């Protein structure tokens, strides 16, 4: 019998914003921008079509958040 794919289960599990935030930033390479609660709320407003309900999943949202944060950082004015 094949054992369950724990990584897949972890990735597809529905989470709250707070849980997603913790897992998103966990083990993230230093060159990637970190997520914050306000940024994730802005992402959700901007990408409402990705949220059929209010839950977050690593599988559906992590890469999109990563790309969005990187692009957002690139176009923001330098201080």
Q: Which two three-digit tokens encode residue 55?
A: 């839950």
Q: How far is CA 43 from CA 1, 12, 40, 52, in A?
A: 41, 19, 5, 14
d(CA 39, CA 43): 6
User: pLDDT tier at 73 (50, 70, 90 boundaries)?
Assistant: confident
pTM of the model: 0.82
Per-residue pLDDT tens digits for 23-66: 999 989 998 999 999 999 999 999 999 998 889 998 999 999 99
């Amino acid at each position: 019998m094949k054992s369950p794919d724990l990584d897949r289960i972890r990735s597809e599990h529905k989470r709250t914003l707070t849980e997603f935030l913790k897992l998103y930033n966990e083990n993230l390479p230093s060159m990637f921008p970190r997520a914050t609660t306000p940024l994730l709320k802005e992402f959700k407003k901007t990408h409402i079509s990705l949220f059929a309900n209010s839950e977050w999943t690593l599988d559906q949202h992590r890469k999109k958040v990563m790309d969005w944060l990187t692009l957002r950082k690139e176009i923001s004015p330098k201080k």
